[in-house]
Amino acid sequence: MEIKSKMFSYLKFWLKSSNQHGLHSPFVYNYLTKGLYEVKNQSDKKQLNWILKSINYFNPNKIFVCDALKNQHVQFHQIQTEFFEDADLIFINSNSGFDLDELISKMNSEQLLFICNEKYQSALQRKLQNDDSVIVLVDFYVGSLISKRTEQLKQNFFLRL
């Protein structure tokens, strides 16, 4: 039953999502075409591939990775920080216990938050879409990118990897 539920969830996402065509945000278009589509896959796992390509594209000075992701994926010792306030890129798991509202409220406009999904949560996506402090929300099904970019109008994107 779980597999059918996951397939139905992905099908619903796929029907409302798109690719780079029709994107009206240069920030999201460049990230998608030059960072995610153009670069060779670095893993056979879609979520890990998304994480690695994002780190490569944004080339951060510091990243914050929650413990749940450290254990599942790759260690990032060379650029990792213990405090999300110091990080350019913040990676958390959707079930990691972080108070998402508080985390988003403490983010600055230069930071990017990546929420990695263990299971797609449409209720969480709707909540993020309606959050006025989230200026850019890019939903990739395996996770979401959140930004508080002040130079852009509020937009929500549903994109296929």
- What is the secondary structure of the chain as a DSSP string? -HHHHHHHHHHHHHHH-B-STT---HHHHHIIIIIIISSPPS-SSHHHHHHHHHHHHH--S-EEE-HHHHHHS---GGGB-S-GGG-SEEEEETTS---HHHHHHH--TT-EEEEE-SS--HHHHHHHHH-TT--EEEE-SSEEEEE--TTS--EEEEB--
pLDDT of residue 79: 80
Looking at the DSSP bridge assignments, the partners of residue 139 are 144, 158
Record the pTM: 0.86
What domains, with CATH codes, occur in the chain? Answer: 2-158 (3.40.50)
Q: Which two tokens stand for residue 50?
A: 């998304």
pLDDT, tens digit, for every residue of 57-102?
A: 999 999 998 876 666 555 566 688 888 999 999 999 887 778 889 9
For residue 120, the one-letter residue type is Y
The separation between CA 140 and the C-alpha centre of its own chain, rounded to angstroms, equals: 7
pLDDT for 118 equals 79
Tell me if 36 sits within 8 A of 54, measured CB to CB: yes
Tokens (6 digits) for 55: 């780190």
How much is the pLDDT for 144? 94
pLDDT at 115 over 70: yes
What confidence category does residue 139 fall into, taking pLDDT thresholds of 50, 70 and 90? very high
Radius of gyration of the chain (CA): 15
53 φ/ψ angles, rounded to the nearest 5 degrees: -65, -35
* Model confidence pLDDT, tens digit, residues 13-30: 787 777 777 777 889 999
Q: How far apart are CA 130 and CA 34, in angstroms?
A: 28
User: For residue 129, what pLDDT band results from cuts at 50, 70 and 90?
Assistant: very high
